[in-house]
Amino acid sequence: MNNKFFDEFKKLCNILQKSIEKCPWVKSINTKIMLNEASSEIKEIEEALSKNDIDNLEEEIGDLIYDSLLLLKIAERDYKISSDKVIKRVVSKISNRKPWLFWEKNTSYEEAAKIWKERKTAEKKLGENID
Ligand code: MG
């Protein structure tokens, strides 16, 4: 990820916030509708892949990212969850399950799979993240 990515991502976050505040369509929908929208985008990604249409793939992945983040903002609005906490949770989960990302040495597929499984099992025992 480079600075250009983060610049564009900031613009997207701004659009998301404005969508929550000013878009009549977004005001009228809920998380269930948003999930259906996201599901449609996944199907469109599958279609683009099946046609090997890379330009369309690029578009549809963007649509899914937008829908996923809009789902987050709608859930924040409707269920008073914290976007910050959602991001912090996933960062914590992936950091815990993929410690090799932060190691100097390379990790084999087998070792990574073993660690992932062990950490996931440990999390379940603690009653934390199940997925
Ligand atoms: Mg689309």
pLDDT tens per residue, range 89-127: 999 999 999 999 999 999 999 999 999 999 999 998 887
Give the phi and the psi of residue 81 in degrees, each rounded to 5: -80, 165
Q: How far is the CA of 45 from the centre of ligand 1 (A)?
A: 8
For ligand 1, the distance from its centroid to the CA atom of residue 40, given in whole angstroms, is: 7
- For 17, the token pair is 């916030």
- At 105 the three-state DSSP class reads coil
Q: Can you give the pLDDT at residue 125?
A: 87
User: Does the pLDDT at position 129 exceed 80?
Assistant: no
C-alpha distances (whole Å) from 96 to each of 1, 59, 82, 116 are 21, 32, 21, 9
CA of 1 to the centre of ligand 1 (A): 23
Residue 10 token pair: 């900031």
The reported pTM is 0.87
Give the number of other CB atoms < 10 A from CB of residue 20.
Answer: 15
Separation of alpha carbons 86 and 20, rounded Å: 18
Cα–ligand 1 centroid distance for 35 (angstroms)? 13
Between residues 2 and 77, the one the model is more confident about: 77
